[in-house]
Amino acid sequence: MFVLLPIKDNDLKIIVYKVNFLQIYFLFEIILDICGMDKFMQTAIAQALKSRSEGGIPIGSVLVKNEEIVAEGHNKRVQEKNPILHGEMDCLNNAGRIGNYRNTVIYSTLMPCYMCAGMIVQFKIPKVIVGESRTFPGARAFMESHGVEVIDLDLPECVRMMEEFIEECPELWNEDIGNSIEADS
């Protein structure tokens, strides 16, 4: 298996041969540290890579409160055959009951969809930081209309990760975003 980790607009490409997920994660973490990326987004990207390594959709999420990670999650729709287990949903599920979300920030490698945005609005999470929205515009306007601050980092790493996945698995991607091309029964 070859893994390609493109960093910052083709400045650096690393090919790793026959490695396991943890080795990829640690290598990725080192590279991201060098690039100075936010540690919380690093963790969200690691969660996205974990999902992909499990055969799932590469979207990861992290919930942060008072500059500490409360929970991590990734899209598990494929792995658990559960249509609502998007990255943000899995993350909040992993957080459990934390009282209120007033001082939290949720990170996601991709702009949240309307379902996940509804959860963010419902629990009054005040800030969302996303890796990218080029491959999927999501529900930014909806969140902002409900007072949520949305920051789109437009990270090339996140864009490439999604573009590669969409090219490799278009049917799965279309199913995930509700654009299934199958005839309705």
Read off the pLDDT of each residue in 131-150 and give the average, rounded to a whole number. Answer: 97
Structure-token pair, residue 177: 């975003």
pLDDT tens digit sequence for 78-115? 999 998 999 999 999 999 999 999 999 999 999 999 99
- According to the model, what pLDDT value does residue 128 have? 98
Is 149 a known active-site residue?
Answer: no
pLDDT tens digit sequence for 33-83? 446 678 999 999 999 999 999 999 999 999 999 999 999 999 999 999 998
- According to the model, what pLDDT value does residue 175 have? 80
Read off the pLDDT of each residue in 24-29 and give the average, rounded to a whole number. Answer: 56
Neighbour-count burial of 29, counting CB atoms closer than 10 A to its CB (0-12 exposed, 13-18 middle, 19+ buried): middle
Q: Closest by alpha carbon to 143, among 92, 103, 106?
A: 106
**Percentage of the chain surpassing pLDDT 90?**
69
87 within 8 A of 47, measured Cβ to Cβ: yes
Cα-Cα end-to-end distance for the chain = 38
Helices 21-35, 39-53: crossing angle, 10 deg rounding = 150
Catalytic residue among 29, 68, 88, 149, which?
88
CA gap 92, 133 in Å, rounded: 21
- Return the number of other C-beta atoms located less than 10 Å from residue 36's C-beta: 6
- According to the model, what pLDDT value does residue 32 have? 54
Residue 121 makes CB contacts below 8 A (sequence gap 6+) with 142, 143, 146, 148
